Structure 1
Amino acid sequence: MAKWAALLRGVNVGGNTALPMARLREFLTDMGFSNVRTLLASGNAIFDVDGVEAPAIEALLEREAAARIKLRTDFLVRSDEELAALVSGNPFPEVASSRPDQLVVAFGRTAAPADLPQRLATFYDGPERIEVRGREMYIDFPAGQGRSKLWPAVAKLKLNGIGTARNWNTITKLNAAMRR
């Protein structure tokens, strides 16, 4: 069986889109996925399913969540191999070990522009370090996300992509859960 992680965008964050994790587990089980588990309350699920690729899983989950449980949000999925590669390929290992809550990975549906850091630097000079790797963007927030002006600056680039972000603590917990 292929193992997948689903990352839901904007669920149970800042008062937006409330979804009890028990309801998410029930939904995924009803969809025919097996070994369904959730992690934390921010829209992270792990499940097994064979014979379906990520784009088809995302489209199916988004369509069926809207129809069955009246949830309109984006689902981004990654395989266990993709998540393991993301963890092992972390360009900021010192941040992961010393302040993992300040290391964030933004997951995209499509690849982020490789020159995104350079494009941002033309009008934004914040302290964050950014490394783009395909569909993921690793971000070191040395002063934390709360006061950072990075996300509004990224929005000015009008990338038109679907994405969601998780801090390093969550990512490593997801990765460990996928290994069980």
Structure 2
Amino acid sequence: MTTTYAALLRGINVGGNKKVPMAELRTLMEGLGLDDVRTYLQSGQAVFAADHGDEDSLAAELVGAIEKRFGFAVGVIVRDHAYLRAIVENCPFPAADLEAKQLHVTYFSEPAAPDRYQEIDRETYLPEEFRLGDRALYLYAPNGLGRSKLAEHLAKPRLNKGLIATSRNWNTVVKLVEMTEG
């Protein structure tokens, strides 16, 4: 059975570092036997179909191939359409009432236990807020991610130790659902 997935690459094409041209990424993925490979923007999203593997094995396959081809390691998270759709459907914030720049999702390679974040004094950051979801963290940043003190705090390595974590704005979150549909 063929399943459609999105691959989320962490930290590529940012500030001139870890350059991965999307055309080369598509070719690399097709060389792995993945079908209907499409990329979105330059910031590390690829959609593909596969009739083998699962999210973890496909991510590991991509990590190895990218390191071999480009010479550096990149964290990769692979999620199927049903998961991506559930992220949108289960958003704890009123996404339809917000600007896309105000809402972000950080995808995690594994579930993040709530106790990782217990030291955060949430009231200090209001009106910014975050909520945990299924292997994801939703962030409401009314002034955008670039000005968010909460996002800066949430990105601290000790909070995400042992996890691959990569964030996307709400427009990208919704687009990946559309791209993986049917």
TM-score in terms of structure 1 length: 0.90
Match for residue 10 of structure 1? 11
Contact kept in structure 1, 2:139 and 2:151, CA below 8 Å: no
Match for residue 175 of structure 2? 173
Match for residue 66 of structure 2? 65
Q: Name the SS for the 1:146 alignment partner.
A: helix
Alignment CA distance shift 1:156-1:64 (3 Å)? closer
1:134-180 deviations in Å (ceiling 9; x for gaps): 21000000121112222442216443021100000011111111115
Alignment CA distance shift 1:91-1:158 (3 Å)? closer
Contact kept in structure 2, 1:117 and 1:131, CA below 8 Å: no
Match for residue 91 of structure 2? 90
Q: Name the SS for the 2:147 alignment partner.
A: coil
Q: Which runs of 5+ in 1 are unaligned?
A: none
Q: Which runs of 5+ in 2 are unaligned?
A: none
Match for residue 144 of structure 1? 144
TM-score in terms of structure 2 length: 0.90
Contact kept in structure 1, 2:117 and 2:159, CA below 8 Å: no
Which amino acid letter does the alignment assign opposite residue 6 of structure 1? A
Contact kept in structure 2, 1:96 and 1:168, CA below 8 Å: no
1:113-137 deviations in Å (ceiling 9; x for gaps): 2245543117x71132111012100
Q: Name the SS for the 2:30 alignment partner.
A: helix
Alignment CA distance shift 1:150-1:16 (3 Å)? farther
1: CA distance, partners of 2:28 / 2:17:
19
Which amino acid letter does the alignment assign opposite residue 173 of structure 1? K
Within 5 Å, give how 1:8-157 maps onto structure 2: 8-93=9-94, 95-121=95-121, 125-127=124-126, 128-154=128-154, 155=156, 157=158
Contact kept in structure 1, 2:76 and 2:164, CA below 8 Å: no
2: CA distance, partners of 1:68 / 1:12:
15
Identity level (%) = 35
1:40-85 deviations in Å (ceiling 9; x for gaps): 1111000011231111111111111111232421111100110011
